[in-house]
Structures are given as C-alpha cells and as structure tokens.
C-alpha cells in the first residue's frame, strides 16, 4: 500500500483502524458551539460522521491517511497593484489531482483484494482529515491548526481511503513539536488564532476572502489584508517547520501562467466569461467572481487610502 501510494505521488501515508475519534469529535462540537465556523454551516451537519468513518462506509475497518506535497519554489511579487493568491490555489484544483490519485489507489486495492470496498475522500466528505492524519503518524496539528510534517512542513494536501478490509496498522506515538513557539499567533494580523490550536474563522483573512459571501469584508479584515486577494499564508510562511519545505514533483501545482498574484485592475474589469475560462479546474473558483471583485476593491481602496495618508504625513 505504501509503495503504491509513493508511486502515485503521495509523500506520507499511514494506516490505522477505523474507529470513533471521540475526543476530536467533542473538540469539534465545542468549536462549532462557539461559532468559530462563521457562515460555514455545512460543518454543522452530521457531526457524528465526522468523527466515526464507519458511519460513512458501513463495515469500515481501516483508514489510510495520505499527504501530498504541494510546495513550489516561487514567491509573491511585491506589487501594490496586485493581490496575492494563497499558495494552495496557484495550480490546478487539488481536489481533482488528489481524487484522481486516490481513486487509482482504491482501484489497486480492489485488484489486490477482490471484494474489497471503500471510499476515497479529499476535503469533501464529513471526515476529520487533520485528526486522522495525526492519528496515522503523518505529523501533528500545529498551533495554527494546520497539519505539520517533519519532512515537508505544512505545505501538504490531505486525503483518505476508508476501507472495509483489515490491514497491517501503524502504531505511531503522538507527536507535538511546536513547543513554546508562538510565531503563527504573533504574525496573524487579525488575531484569528485566538489561542494555540484554535482558529476563529470569523477573524481569518482566508475565510473572509474565500468563504464569506457578504457584500463587504468586515472592517478589521479589510484593514489588515496585507495584500491578500485570495486566501492567506501568513501563519504558514512564518512557521519554523517550513524551512524543511521541498519542491513538489507534481507539475499541476505549479502556478498557472506563472502567476502568484493577480492584477487588481484586471480583476475589477473581469467579465464572467473570462472568469470561467481563467479559473476552470482551479480552486479559486470557490470564491466566485463577485467575491474576487469585492476583495480586489477592498485592496485598491486600502492602497489608495494608505497612499493618501502617507502623502499627508509627508506634507506635515
């Protein structure tokens, strides 16, 4: 299984019994009760399935947790007239890439074990992906709430196979290597990491620029965008573990058109047809054209206001 997963481009794989992640499920319920999920109402649905994969695949006995490195050695351009794109959305939609590879792995399992059944999941089924990745020994959940691996940092996508067959299981010791570091908490411009390991989505730039459907961005978010048009990587950029980042071998994660940022003027003038063509099979279609235009407008406004304020200060 692990050799085949490596052949398919996965950098980490762990295999554990399918069981109820009771503690992690309870933590999720508390997080939801505090309203930290904002308007992501789908996270409230079927909470029992999120912690117990046997409710997703009847008769499930094993969970194969996998990670794929998506780091590419490019940087954002420092241009006030362009909006930065989160690294995960530079290339093709990771859902498509990972789902293709997971289905290939599932087909291989079925060929090796006739009668085996299961389900491949990439961020779409109600599964606690980071919890399963940590349980399977892929890494640990950092204070910024992202999974961190020792050999690739946090620049990894996660996926799972839930299978109805018994396998040889890993027995990893629980990991936690953040120690006393608070780099991610200190760097977040909106204070979205309200305490170690807990993110309040309502204060998060990534949530606001991607998931929030309001006509205007919240004032504290708009004032602290730091040039982000779609998503935000600040908490990962400052993480000391990301010094171990390595270029991915998956070419589909390379920036489309060598773009890590987008012209704010281009976004403001973009028509629907151009949007559909530009972001076909891209994760950036998540925010819709109206959301992208809203984000670009906020960046342009704050840039103008900042320039005006600077000019006024120079006069004084």
Q: What is the pLDDT of residues 199-228, one digit of tens each?
A: 999 999 999 999 999 999 999 999 999 999
Residue 156's nearest CA partner among 87, 205, 203 is: 87
At residue 311, the pLDDT reads 44
At residue 289, the pLDDT reads 97
- 55 with 21: CB under 8 angstroms? no
Count CA atoms closer than 13 A to 199's CA, side-chain side.
Answer: 20
At residue 316, the pLDDT reads 55
Q: How is 157-194 classified by DSSP, letter by letter?
A: EEEEEEESS--PPP-PPP----TT--HHHHH-TT--EE
- Phi and psi at 241, nearest 5°, equal -70, -20
How far apart CA 260 and CA 26 sit, in angstroms, is 38
More confident position, 314 or 255: 255
- Per-residue CA distances from 201 to 34, 198, 205 (Å): 11, 9, 8
At residue 248, the pLDDT reads 98
Q: Strand 82-85 and strand 228-230: pairing?
A: parallel
| Region of poorest pLDDT, from 75-79, 117-121, 280-284 | 75-79
Q: Which residues contact 75 (CB under 8 A, 6 or more apart)?
A: 260
What is the value of pTM for the model shown?
Answer: 0.93
How far apart CA 310 and CA 304 sit, in angstroms, is 10
303 pLDDT more than 80:
no
What's the pLDDT tens digit per position in 183-198? Answer: 999 999 999 999 999 9
SS3 15: strand
* Residue-range domain boundaries for the chain: 2-73+93-163, 183-311
Q: What token pair was written down for 54?
A: 């046997």
How far apart CA 239 and CA 230 sit, in angstroms, is 20
Please say if 92 is a catalytic residue. no
What's the pLDDT tens digit per position in 27-67? Answer: 999 999 999 999 999 999 888 889 999 999 999 999 999 99
Catalytic residue among 52, 93, 96, 123: 123
What's the mean pLDDT when you consider all of the chain? 94
At residue 302, the pLDDT reads 82
- 91 with 256: CB under 8 angstroms? yes
263 pLDDT more than 70:
yes
Q: Which residues contact 172 (CB under 8 A, 6 or more apart)?
A: 14, 136, 137
């Amino acid at each position: 299984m692990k050799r085949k997963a490596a052949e398919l481009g996965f950098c980490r794989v762990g295999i554990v019994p399918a069981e109820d992640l009771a503690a992690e499920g309870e933590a999720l319920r508390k997080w939801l009760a505090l309203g930290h999920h904002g308007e992501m109402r789908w996270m409230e649905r079927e909470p029992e399935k999120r912690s117990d994969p046997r409710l997703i695949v009847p008769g499930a006995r094993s969970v194969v947790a996998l990670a794929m490195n998506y780091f590419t050695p490019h940087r954002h351009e420092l241009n006030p007239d362009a909006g930065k794109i989160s690294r995960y959305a530079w290339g093709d939609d990771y859902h498509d890439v990972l789902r293709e590879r997971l289905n290939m792995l599932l087909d291989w399992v079925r060929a090796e074990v006739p009668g085996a059944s299961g389900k491949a999941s990439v961020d779409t089924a109600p599964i606690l992906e980071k919890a399963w990745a940590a349980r399977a020994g892929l890494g640990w959940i950092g204070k910024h709430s992202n999974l961190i691996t020792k050999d690739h940092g946090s620049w990894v996508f996660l996926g799972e196979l839930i299978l109805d067959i018994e396998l040889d299981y890993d027995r990893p010791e629980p990991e936690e290597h953040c120690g006393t570091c608070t780099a991610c908490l200190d760097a977040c411009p909106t204070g979205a990491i309200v305490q170690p390991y807990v993110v309040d989505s309502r204060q998060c730039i990534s949530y606001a620029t991607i998931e929030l459907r309001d006509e205007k961005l919240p004032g504290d978010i708009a004032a602290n965008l730091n040039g982000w048009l779609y998503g935000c990587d600040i908490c990962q950029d400052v993480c000391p573990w990301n010094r171990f980042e390595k270029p991915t071998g998956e070419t589909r994660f390379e920036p489309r058109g060598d773009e890590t940022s987008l012209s704010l003027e281009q976004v403001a003038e973009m028509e629907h047809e151009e949007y559909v063509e530009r972001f076909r099979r891209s994760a950036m279609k998540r925010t819709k054209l109206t959301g992208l235009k809203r984000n670009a407008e906020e960046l342009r406004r704050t840039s103008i206001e900042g320039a005006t304020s600077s000019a006024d200060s120079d006069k004084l």
